[in-house]
Structure 1
């Protein structure tokens, strides 16, 4: 089994999703970033509005529309702290 990322997606109101993923893709103010297991630690400011995509094993992809917040990558995993977030409709997912 390939290495996995521990991912948490949290908004001000609630924890939206937590679990393991193969990759997280988010758009920061510096550009779009893809995070794989073993990625160097970083803290990025999410672009507004933005979409965070979580790619799970087996090809499943989750997408969330987010407004404001940060992306934090540490040795323990990835945390997305958004001011607001909601599941993206299938038509909005890339």
Structure 2
């Protein structure tokens, strides 16, 4: 199965980078899940959690203060002013 290349970026630099099977965020219009093969998009994010399901089932969860996410060719970038780990 294909994977996503994911980057989490805060104002002070890159917070997390790696491969994932899925990314779930809360946009200003509602919850959104991204899987490999997703159409390109740019979306504004609401404050809340970003869930990353890595290969092997390991989850990373962070809290953001809002921001935006881009998806293009299985590359996902989440940019926020602050990113705080809220789980493992």
TM-score using structure 2 length? 0.94
Q: Deviating runs (4+, > 4 A) in structure 1?
A: none
- In 1, the alpha carbon distance for the partners of 2:87 and 2:57 equals 17
CA RMSD of aligned residues (A): 1.1
SS in 2 for 1:22: strand
Shift of 1:89: 3.8
**Cross-structure match for 2:44:** 45
Q: Deviations over 1:3-36 (max 9, x none)?
A: 0000000000121000100000000001110000
Structure 2 residue ranges without an equivalent (≥5):
none
Instruction: In structure 1, list runs of 5 or more residues that go unmatched.
Output: none
1:38-77 equivalences under 5 Å are: 38-48=37-47, 50-77=48-75
Aligned to 1:13: 12
SS in 2 for 1:83: coil
Assess if the C-alpha contact under 8 Å between 2:36 and 2:74 holds in 1. Answer: no
CA–CA distance in structure 2, aligned partners of residues 26 and 35 of structure 1: 9
